[in-house]
A and B are shown apart, each in its own frame.
Chain A
Amino acid sequence: MLQKKVCMLGSFSVGKSSLVRRFVESMFDEQYHTTIGVKVDKKVVNTGGEDLTLVLWDIYGEDVFQKMRMSYLRGMHGYILVADGTRRQTLEDALALNDRVVAEIGKVPALLALNKFDLTDQWEIDPAREAQLTAAGWTVQHTSAKTGDAVEKAFLHLAQAMLAK
């Protein structure tokens, strides 16, 4: 069966692990558990009538304590850049990380997940900023690992983009 390596990238506490857990196990934990290493999961999806194994690399979030090793991205077919929509800075940090990834790996299919969309009253990313990102070529998804909204959609969208490449 065809396999594709997908990396989850973004700052700490944006919900990368929660998105993977929601997608793979349909589960969510309210409590924040920080990731300090890499965890690899697999999930088979069917896209366009074809089964595809997504090998999901949940990589610890970058912060002042830990920088990401670019070697983890070797062989990556696509990635989900995750930002926390209730913390505007995480979007800017994610985009800065993206620049480094593109410089290192080159362009591969990617999707921007603005996570925690269930917290609409705390949302900090305005539509104009999103419009800018869309204009810059990003596929933007409002996801909620808590409710499951658009989580599967985001992974499937990326799977299709990787197959189309």
Chain B
Amino acid sequence: MSAKSIFESFLAGQGYALFEYLGDGDFRLLGAWPDWCASIWGAQPNSDQRIGLGGKSPFLENFLVDAAEFWRTRSPGSVNSGNWIESGANGREIPLEASARSLDGKRILLLQNLSESFGQQQQWFQTARNSLLEHEKLLKEIQKKEILLHCIVHDLTQPLSAMNGVFNLLNRENLPAALRKYIKAGERESQRQELMIRGILEAFSSDLAAQQSRETSAAEAPDLLACAKQAIEEFSPAFRERQIGLSLGAHAGDSRGWRVVGDSSRIDRIFGNLLENAMRYAPKGSTVTIGVENHDEFVLAFVDDEGPGLPPDQRPDQLFALFSKGKAHAGKAGLGLYFCKITVERWGGAIGADTRKRGGARFWFRLPRAAQSTQNDATAASRGKSVDKEKPHTHKKAEKSLRILVAEDAELNRDLIIELLKKRGHIAIGVTDGRRALAALEEHDFDVVLLDEEMPGMTGLQTTAAIRRRELITGKHQVIIGISGHATADDEHRFREAGMDTALAKPVEVKTLYKAVESAAQNLHSTAARSQPQHTAEAAAATAPAAAPSLAAHAPADSSANSAAENEDALSHLRRTTGGNEKLIRSLAATFLADAPKALARIRGAVAKKNAAELASAAHLLKGSLAIFGAPKAVAAARNLEALGRANNLREALASLRTLESEFALLQHELRAIHSAAKPKPQSPASSRIPAKRPRQKK
């Protein structure tokens, strides 16, 4: 046997078939025709026969284009096809790979049967992809459990909120000092328990959030130095009480600024946790220093104390483990530093602690810098926000006092509108649905009727139709302004078609409310010569006050306002919409805190019981209340739930409920701060004012 034939036999034994390319898509077999070739393509061709391999396999035909190019360009090495499967005799699948190369000036095509190695490769991919699928399933399970956790936490927290409220009330009573001390202690403990429960929620729900994106939108990039300063401002009184100093360390200026990836409210909580930790260990008369430093692509923040340093028997990283507590001074539940760790790591940062050379401990965390454009955008957004904040509206009295009926089922909206109208010098009364509005119109004359579109029993549109029918007898035209949570030109057209004079978009803003009401009434009086009542939609549209603002006219303005006010906190929003009426703001906050949790509980119940109609109704109600406080994300979640309920599609409801609950909790925190600022503090007259800044959410 010649060396050549030995070599060809060896190749065939290894699962190879060898061909020489002759041009025009034809090949010549070199050496043996292996059994697997026979299984796929039939009997062995004659030695001098030209074989059109492309015609035998569509995959090979496709690869031969690449092979021809390889040979034409005389490229070095080889080009291969990747794996493909051919069906052999009896349907047996045969995995193959082709490669083209040049040998001694000949264009060679090598086909390899991969049967031996393919099984192992297949097994590896199968295992890896099964693992990916299992991972996806696990994430979904975590999501479901997180919602359950939210529900449990909510149920545990509800009674505590009530207890806090009772303690608040008791604090206002003129009680003996000893009794007041006990009340304070009870209040402190109930608040502590509430914070611990929320801490558990944060710690465990973050497992899921950690899997999600850490993108920070331009307007949201927080300024770490600003957060540090705010933490000092908020913690200074507590430190003073313990006779511990709290100061800002030196920080070198940097043109790149201090904006980082993350979320300012959570950074506030991280600083809060680190400062609370420092406060527990810092001795009287010492100073805790908080500061920021540049670390290339990161910004580092630190809290230095002059206490005993880190426990010698504990590794620094163990301090950040779940349920880890110091020995000497047990803190809370051991969740605080764990929360800091998972939050910082979620944003691509790191956290740690060291014993300082000069004594004491340093707790630090570092976060990646936000992109430069992000910083610029955020600065601009922040500037816009502060300018907007400084422009409260005034409540000049109207030239003429109007009698106005407000029909709105959402109590908060109704109260807000009535209060604003009264401030303006109008006489306003409220009813909760269309039937009561009709009854009120039987008893009294009103210059203007404001009708919410969606009310239980009788909707705004049905009420309008009933009023217009009555006008056939009375001959008097009643000015009707619709109020809608939607804000499109189609909605306005629909309102006019139904016989309304004009429409307002919710949440109602002070300026647009006054303009709509007063210009509608004025237009009616100036056209008092109206000799015939307006009964048809066309007539109603034709007589609609030209000067009155409309839904369509509001819609773009509202949406741009929403966009600009995306980060506006509840207090700024309320100041803008109420014209800076702080008493009204407190009243709205108190009503929301008392009533909105019930609406949220209704939504939870509806989702759990898959009751679509109940979900739509409860979400609609809560949406209206949330809109009063801005809260665009919460409103969007409630709107989505309402839409899902209406579409009887509850598959997505759990995810939206999760978003709603988390946004709702944030709003509650803000409103509690607003509400508690109303508590009289005789020692400091200024303290009865609402705090100017968004309250820090502490664990």
> Do they bind each other?
yes
A37 pairs with B133, CB closer than 8 A: no
Summarize B's interface: helix, strand, loop or mixed: helix
**A40 touching B129 in the complex, CB below 8 Å, given contacts A126-B651, A127-B649:** no
Interface membership of A33, Cβ < 8 A: yes
- Nearest neighbor of B66 in chain A, beta-carbon distance: A71
Interface membership of A123, Cβ < 8 A: yes
A38 pairs with B128, CB closer than 8 A: no
**A36 touching B647 in the complex, CB below 8 Å, given contacts A5-B58, A63-B129:** no
Interface membership of B7, Cβ < 8 A: no
User: Mind listing 23 A-B residue pairs with CB under 8 Å?
Assistant: A5-B58, A32-B133, A34-B125, A34-B126, A34-B129, A36-B118, A36-B122, A37-B84, A38-B59, A38-B82, A38-B85, A39-B84, A40-B85, A57-B58, A63-B132, A64-B132, A69-B82, A71-B62, A72-B62, A72-B82, A75-B62, A126-B652, A127-B649
Interface membership of A162, Cβ < 8 A: no
B58 pairs with A40, CB closer than 8 A: yes
Complex formed: what's the CA distance from A36 to B65 in Å? 22
- Nearest neighbor of A42 in chain B, beta-carbon distance: B58
Give the chain B neighbours of A65 by CB distance below 8 A.
Answer: 125, 128-129
- Nearest CB of chain A from residue B169's CB, rounded to whole Å: 46
Complex formed: what's the CA distance from A57 to B125 in Å? 20
Give the chain A neighbours of B125 by CB distance below 8 A.
Answer: 34, 36, 65-66
- Nearest CB of chain B from residue A18's CB, rounded to whole Å: 14
Interface membership of B121, Cβ < 8 A: yes
Residues in A29-69 with C-beta less than 8 Å from chain B: 32-34, 36-40, 55, 57, 63-66, 69
A-contacting residues of B (Cβ < 8 Å)?
57-59, 62-63, 65-66, 82-85, 93, 95, 118, 121-122, 125-126, 128-130, 132-133, 136, 647, 649, 651-652
Give the chain A neighbours of B83 by CB distance below 8 A.
Answer: 36-38
Q: Residues 1-31 of chain A: 1 if any B CB is under 8 Å from the residue's CB, otherwise 0?
A: 0000100000011000000000000000000
Interface membership of A92, Cβ < 8 A: no
A32 pairs with B651, CB closer than 8 A: no
- Nearest CB of chain B from residue A139's CB, rounded to whole Å: 23
Interface membership of A99, Cβ < 8 A: no
- Nearest CB of chain B from residue A51's CB, rounded to whole Å: 18
Complex formed: what's the CA distance from A34 to B133 in Å? 12
A74 pairs with B136, CB closer than 8 A: no
Q: Residues 65-90 of chain A: 1 if any B CB is under 8 Å from the residue's CB, otherwise 0?
A: 11001011011000000000001010
**A33 touching B652 in the complex, CB below 8 Å, given contacts A38-B85, A39-B84:** no
A39 pairs with B136, CB closer than 8 A: no
Give the chain B neighbours of A64 by CB distance below 8 A.
Answer: 132
> What 8 A-B pairs have minimum CB-CB distances, sorted nearest first?
A37-B83, A39-B85, A38-B84, A37-B84, A36-B125, A34-B126, A34-B129, A40-B58
Beyond the given pairs A38-B83, A66-B125, A72-B62, 10 more chain A to chain B contacts, judged by CB atoms under 8 angstroms and listed by A's residue number, are A32-B126, A32-B133, A33-B126, A34-B126, A38-B84, A40-B85, A57-B59, A65-B128, A71-B62, A75-B62
B58 pairs with A124, CB closer than 8 A: no
Complex formed: what's the CA distance from A37 to B82 in Å? 7
- Nearest CB of chain B from residue A128's CB, rounded to whole Å: 8
Give the chain A neighbours of B66 by CB distance below 8 A.
Answer: 71
Complex formed: what's the CA distance from A89 to B139 in Å? 13
Complex formed: what's the CA distance from A13 to B129 in Å? 8
A55 pairs with B58, CB closer than 8 A: yes
**A40 touching B651 in the complex, CB below 8 Å, given contacts A33-B126, A34-B126:** no
Max chain B C-beta neighbours (<10 A), residue from A5, A12, A36, A87: A36
Give the chain A neighbours of B65 by CB distance below 8 A.
Answer: 71, 74
Complex formed: what's the CA distance from A34 to B123 in Å? 9
- Nearest CB of chain A from residue B130's CB, rounded to whole Å: 7
Complex formed: what's the CA distance from A74 to B67 in Å? 14
- Nearest CB of chain B from residue A69's CB, rounded to whole Å: 6
- Nearest neighbor of B121 in chain A, beta-carbon distance: A36
- Nearest neighbor of A55 in chain B, beta-carbon distance: B58
Complex formed: what's the CA distance from A30 to B5 in Å? 48
Give the chain A neighbours of B59 by CB distance below 8 A.
Answer: 38, 40, 57
Complex formed: what's the CA distance from A87 to B121 in Å? 26
- Nearest neighbor of B114 in chain A, beta-carbon distance: A37
Give the chain B neighbours of A69 by CB distance below 8 A.
Answer: 82
Complex formed: what's the CA distance from A39 to B690 in Å? 70
Complex formed: what's the CA distance from A87 to B129 in Å? 14
Complex formed: what's the CA distance from A16 to B651 in Å? 25
Name the one of A12, A57, A74, A124 contacting B129, with C-beta atoms under 8 angstroms.
A12
B122 pairs with A34, CB closer than 8 A: yes
Complex formed: what's the CA distance from A86 to B85 in Å? 29
Complex formed: what's the CA distance from A63 to B122 in Å? 15
Give the chain A neighbours of B132 by CB distance below 8 A.
Answer: 12, 63-64
- Nearest neighbor of B647 in chain A, beta-carbon distance: A127
Give the chain B neighbours of A63 by CB distance below 8 A.
Answer: 129, 132
Give the chain B neighbours of A39 by CB distance below 8 A.
Answer: 84-85, 93
B84 pairs with A40, CB closer than 8 A: yes
Complex formed: what's the CA distance from A12 to B59 in Å? 21
Give the chain B neighbours of A40 by CB distance below 8 A.
Answer: 57-59, 84-85
Complex formed: what's the CA distance from A149 to B1 in Å? 60
Complex formed: what's the CA distance from A55 to B60 in Å? 13
- Nearest CB of chain A from residue B513's CB, rounded to whole Å: 32
- Nearest CB of chain B from residue A34's CB, rounded to whole Å: 5
Max chain A C-beta neighbours (<10 A), residue from B126, B129, B649, B651: B129
Give the chain A neighbours of B85 by CB distance below 8 A.
Answer: 37-40
Give the chain B neighbours of A12 by CB distance below 8 A.
Answer: 129, 132
